[in-house]
Amino acid sequence: MKLRKVTAASATVFALALTATACGGGDGDNESSGGGKDKITIGIKFDQPGLGQKTPQGYAGFDVDVATYVAKKLGYEENQIEWKEAKSGDRETMLQRGDVDFIAATYSITPEREEKVDFAGPYLLAHQDVLLRADDDKIKSPEDLNSAKLCSVTGSTSAQNVKDKLAPKAQLQPYPTYSACLPGLQNGAVDALTTDDSILAGYASQPQFKGKFKLGGFKMTNENYGIGVKKGSDLKDKINKALEDMVSDKSWDKAVKDNFGPANYQNEPAPKIGDIKS
């Protein structure tokens, strides 16, 4: 791995930096922003195309781009980042134990989670939506999902929420993962797949599915993605500043286009720090 190759060099640079600081010659940037460490550990998803995905070429996705930008603003180059998989059910524990410095993993800010960890951001406002076949002209609103076959992913409440609140006659079809739903949607075994629009756009942007799916644009919920840090961490304010910089220099717009563009994702403008949409 690339990270292993640079460990020795990073250690040398770190040692020199300490020496310079002891002599009064350092400017303090690494100490204040990078915490004096030679690497930063970041939690992301490994299995969400367009957001956080581990590939043979490395790590890719919108969350990865955001996290990489933030890390650089904190004083770390890409080869100083250690990526760790942050599964949904493990995120709070990983932060509380100190397994990671921060987490950017489609991590919606909720009051329940804020009792356990702190959040910088939000950096993306997503919505629950549906993914449809590109030639579908029947499903134009959530109510049209009545009698439709809706992919229900094990462990997710998205499809059940639609059935309970919007389309009581929807027929839930169980699948193990979102990835497994896509061939079913393509061949007509199911009529729609529902979860966050950003996640759906990521799947639809994969080369093998380009032009085959479309988003409904229903905006059924608000999902405020934040960057999770340990409760009381001073990283929160530094990350917020980095996110503001990412928006102002247009890097945020580029990351959206690079990762969601093929799906024609109609994203919301970059949210203001601390502006949580209920």
Q: Each residue of 15-68: pLDDT tens digit?
A: 434 343 343 333 333 333 455 689 999 999 999 999 999 999 999 999 999 999
Residue 9: inside a domain: no
Which residue's entry shows tokens 């770190």? 14
Residues 255, 233 within the same domain = yes
pLDDT of residue 36: 61
Q: Please, what is the end-to-end C-alpha distance for the chain in angstroms?
A: 42
Residues 232, 242 within the same domain = yes
pLDDT of residue 28: 35
Tokens encoding 73: 């603003």
What is the rounded (10 degree) CA torsion for 212, 268, 58, 230? Answer: -140
Residues 183, 59 within the same domain = no
Per mean pLDDT, which of 30-44, 63-77, 194-208 is the most reliable?
A: 63-77
Residues 104, 230 within the same domain = yes
**How many structural domains compose the chain?**
2
Top pLDDT among 27 and 258 is at: 258
* Model confidence at 182: pLDDT above 50: yes
Residue 31: inside a domain: no
pLDDT of residue 31: 36
Q: What is the CATH classification number for the domain harbouring 152?
A: 3.40.190.10
Beta bridge mates, 80: none
pLDDT grade, residue 116 (50/70/90)?
very high
Q: Which residues contact 105 (CB under 8 A, 6 or more apart)?
A: 43, 44, 45, 51, 52, 63, 86, 88, 91
Residues 183, 247 within the same domain = no
Residues 168, 227 within the same domain = no
pLDDT of residue 97: 98
Q: Is the whole-model pTM more than 0.85? A: no
Residues 141, 114 within the same domain = no
Per mean pLDDT, which of 149-163, 197-211, 217-231 is the most reliable?
A: 217-231
Separation between Cα atoms, residue 178 and residue 88, nearest integer Å = 14
Residues 119, 227 within the same domain = yes
In this structure, the number of other CB atoms found within 10 A of the CB of residue 84 comes to: 16
pLDDT one-digit tens code per residue, 150-168: 999 987 889 999 999 999 9
Distances (CA, A) of 195 to 46, 126, 131, 226: 17, 10, 8, 17
Residue 11: inside a domain: no
Residue 4: inside a domain: no
* Model confidence at 106: pLDDT above 70: yes
Residue 79: inside a domain: yes
* Model confidence at 194: pLDDT above 70: yes
Residue 23: inside a domain: no
Residue 147: inside a domain: yes
Residue 257: inside a domain: yes
Residues 99, 232 within the same domain = yes
What domain range is 200 assigned to?
A: 128-215
